[in-house]
Chains A and B, each alone.
Chain A
Amino acid sequence: MNKIAVKVDDLTVAYNYKPVLWDIDLKIPEGVLMAIVGPNGAGKSTLIKSILGILKPIAGSVSIYGKPYEKQRQLVAYVPQKGSVDWDFPTTALDVVMMGTYGSLGWIKRPGQKEKKAALEALEKVGMLAFKNRQISQLSGGQQQRIFLARALVQNASIYFMDEPFQGVDATTEIAIINILKELRKAGKTVIVVHHDLQTVPEYFDWVTFLNVKKIATGPVRDIFNDDNLTKTYGINYQVSIQE
């Protein structure tokens, strides 16, 4: 097996001390395109938020390539849920993508030509170059999602975490995004996606983690994406027709 990109040990997370994730052990090998699936409230977003240090776990630890997250930030990029920000914020598409460079800039230093160039390249990659000066509220849902993806691409990371990137986007954008994700995997990057559309799992991903408060299963899609695990995750007699 490949190197382990992300290793989660005994992670337990609680909101207001109400447990949301229980004793999660997870090893994500380098270079996979992985979906995290599970019912609503299963703790999918919570899992990636705790890996990224946004939420503080009550127990357990996370390591990125063998070191704690704080030391490996530059290797990690994050695409939050589209609905988590105010899209009426007075800023342009290019500006949002530039934010991806802020982490490597550190405190106080301003982005310059180099950062702008990187941002423009990322915009081109997601097919949004023409909209670079557009106010973000004037973009469609799919376009907003592409901007978020571009912002993560600018970070030029090794591991990408994405929270529901296909929610509320049009079919063209969905295809565009998945193509970019597949390209990232080809380039040896690890991509971890919180996903809710079970139908598309076999088509889009090569690795999957079933999650419902505790980890149900994790592994290659062709081995473990089956009715047994789906039932365990989603409850009794969960039926899903998997299209091959």
Chain B
Amino acid sequence: MTNKTNNDCKSKNLATTKTMDITKYIELVFTDYTLRTITLGTAILGAVTGMLGSFAVLRKQSLLGDAISHAALPGIAIAFLITGAKDSNTLLIGALISGLIGTFWIRGIVTKTHLKSDTALGLILSLFFGFGMLLLTFIQKQPNANQAGLDKYLFGQAATLVESDVWLMAIITGICLIVMLTFWKEFKILLFDADYTKTLGFNTKFIDILITTFIVLAIVLGLQTVGVVLMSAMLLAPAAAARQWTNSLSVMVVLAALFGAFSGVFGTAISASQDNLSTGPVIVLVAGVFVVFSFIFSPNRGLLFKQIRFIKNRRDLELHKTLAFMHHIAETHEDISHPHAVKLLNNFQGYTRSTLQKLVDKNYVQLHGNMWSLTKTGFEVASNLYTKQSTEDE
């Protein structure tokens, strides 16, 4: 087996020093032309894919991105075979066309046959990719020497980004931003409720094609940097992370763009400062860290706070139960603040020393050695609780 990837990785290290620390990297970003280009490129790419990824995720088309990026491969090979050019813009047009063909074929399969969307996605993904690989290996055997560059579209090579690539990304991102701001209202309502949008008189097909085309465009744009295999993660991860922090579509899109851009920058920085680290996978992993962090720590939806809320609710319940039990005992006596033995509480299941302490802290209960008594507030709270519970029981 060949060791191509190995060599690729080395070239991805920007032919600078073997190991670089982060401060040196930051310094280099401002002085080194190549590194600046790459950092800017991955940042813009992350922003635009994050932005459009939000739409893909909300339309439940998460895996469409994966299928499209794989489907773009034969387009790159065919564009090369026809033009012989290594110029990335020409190849990207090929990628765009074959990506769009893949997308519409998927729709054709889903609407015209009884095959389900997952089958259609998997089919187009693997068949187009396999065909693309056939063409790539075929090209490699050709005497034409300048084919070597096509490999980068498999796993991406940020190091090959040049200024014109970054300009192209910036321009497309700009157009995308203008279109999104112009049709914001239409995008939003279509994403939420397509049928209703139709009854209001909007041409839903037009909006739909607009969104889909931009998603395909963003994917194609990222192929050179991240590669067909990992491109879908660039689309999904920032959006999935952003969704956890907000309940507003506009904030989600902005956050996703930020997460995407940061993944790009951090990913580039880490891979540049380490030996043998290709940029694409590192960017994806950084985006993955954003996702995991958001899943766990987001205040409203996050797993951690959900768990904390769950535990707190259970504690509150225990506390209330204990208080209610005490109230029950205290009621038997005319003087509510008559002290009772702590021992009495041992029979009660919900009772622990810490719950008792908490009740004391809240000034519901007073402790005198081995005896406890309800305070006035404690009795009131408990009797309120009691009536609430008993009405709920009814």
Complex alpha-carbon distance, A49 and B200, angstroms? 13
Chain B residues within 8 Å of A73, by CB: 199-201
Chain B residues within 8 Å of A70, by CB: 201
Given A90-B247, A102-B185, A102-B189, A49-B195 contact (CB < 8 Å): yes
| Contact status B248-A107, CB under 8 Å | no
| Contact status B248-A91, CB under 8 Å | yes
Contact of B193 among A52, A84, A107 (CB under 8 A): A84
Q: Binary interface profile of A, 82-123, with partner B (CB < 8 Å = 1, else 0)? A: 001110011110001001001101111111000000000000
Contact of B199 among A52, A92, A106 (CB under 8 A): A52
User: Is A221 located at the chain interface by the 8 A CB criterion?
Assistant: no
| Contact status B192-A105, CB under 8 Å | no
| Contact status B200-A102, CB under 8 Å | yes
Which residues of chain B in 230-249 are interfacial with respect to chain A, using CB atoms and an 8 Å cutoff?
243, 246-249
Given A53-B198, A80-B193, A86-B192, A105-B247 contact (CB < 8 Å): no
Given A49-B195, A54-B199, A91-B249 contact (CB < 8 Å): yes
User: Is B183 located at the chain interface by the 8 A CB criterion?
Assistant: yes
Which residues of chain B in 165-192 are interfacial with respect to chain A, using CB atoms and an 8 Å cutoff?
182-186, 188-189, 191-192
| Contact status A99-B195, CB under 8 Å | no
| Contact status B195-A80, CB under 8 Å | yes
Complex alpha-carbon distance, A80 and B192, angstroms? 12
What is the size, in residues, of chain A's interface with B at 8 Å between Cβ atoms?
28
User: Is A229 located at the chain interface by the 8 A CB criterion?
Assistant: no
- Please count the residue pairs between chain A and chain B whose beta carbons lie under 8 angstroms apart in the complex: 75
Chain A min CB distance to B151 (Å)? 39
Chain A min CB distance to B251 (Å)? 8
User: Is A78 located at the chain interface by the 8 A CB criterion?
Assistant: yes
Chain B residues within 8 Å of A156, by CB: none
Given A86-B192, A90-B249, A99-B193, A76-B185 contact (CB < 8 Å): no
| Contact status B185-A110, CB under 8 Å | yes
Chain A residues within 8 Å of B248, by CB: 90-92
User: Is A63 located at the chain interface by the 8 A CB criterion?
Assistant: no
User: Is A144 located at the chain interface by the 8 A CB criterion?
Assistant: no
Chain A residues within 8 Å of B202, by CB: 102-103, 107
Most buried by B among A70, A86, A89, A90: A90
Chain B residues within 8 Å of A96, by CB: 192
What is the size, in residues, of chain B's interface with A at 8 Å between Cβ atoms?
27
User: Is B196 located at the chain interface by the 8 A CB criterion?
Assistant: yes
Q: Give the residue name and chain of the B residue nearest to A99 (CB).
A: B189
User: Is B252 located at the chain interface by the 8 A CB criterion?
Assistant: yes
| Contact status B247-A135, CB under 8 Å | yes
Complex alpha-carbon distance, A138 and B204, angstroms? 28
Given A99-B189, A108-B182, A90-B246 contact (CB < 8 Å): yes
Chain A residues within 8 Å of B247, by CB: 90-92, 135
Given A89-B191, A92-B248, A80-B196 contact (CB < 8 Å): yes
Q: Binary interface profile of B, 199-241, with partner A (CB < 8 Å = 1, else 0)? A: 1111000000000000000000000000000000000000000
Complex alpha-carbon distance, A108 and B203, angstroms? 12
Contact of A107 among B60, B186, B195 (CB under 8 A): B186
Chain A residues within 8 Å of B191, by CB: 89
Chain A residues within 8 Å of B182, by CB: 108
Chain A residues within 8 Å of B192, by CB: 85-86, 89, 91, 96, 99
Chain A residues within 8 Å of B60, by CB: 86
Chain B min CB distance to A118 (Å)? 15
Chain B residues within 8 Å of A108, by CB: 182-183, 185-186
Chain B residues within 8 Å of A52, by CB: 198-199
| Contact status A90-B243, CB under 8 Å | yes
Most buried by B among A91, A106, A109: A91
Chain B residues within 8 Å of A84, by CB: 193, 195
| Nearest 5 CB-CB pairings of A with B | A103-B200, A135-B247, A78-B199, A52-B199, A73-B201
Some 15 contacts from A to B, beta carbons below 8 A apart, are A54-B199, A73-B199, A76-B199, A78-B199, A84-B195, A89-B191, A96-B192, A99-B188, A102-B186, A102-B202, A105-B185, A108-B183, A108-B186, A110-B184, A111-B185
Known: A76-B199, A84-B195. 20 other contacts (CB 8 A): A53-B198, A53-B199, A73-B201, A78-B199, A84-B193, A86-B60, A89-B58, A90-B252, A91-B188, A91-B247, A92-B248, A102-B185, A102-B197, A102-B200, A102-B202, A103-B199, A106-B201, A107-B186, A109-B185, A135-B247
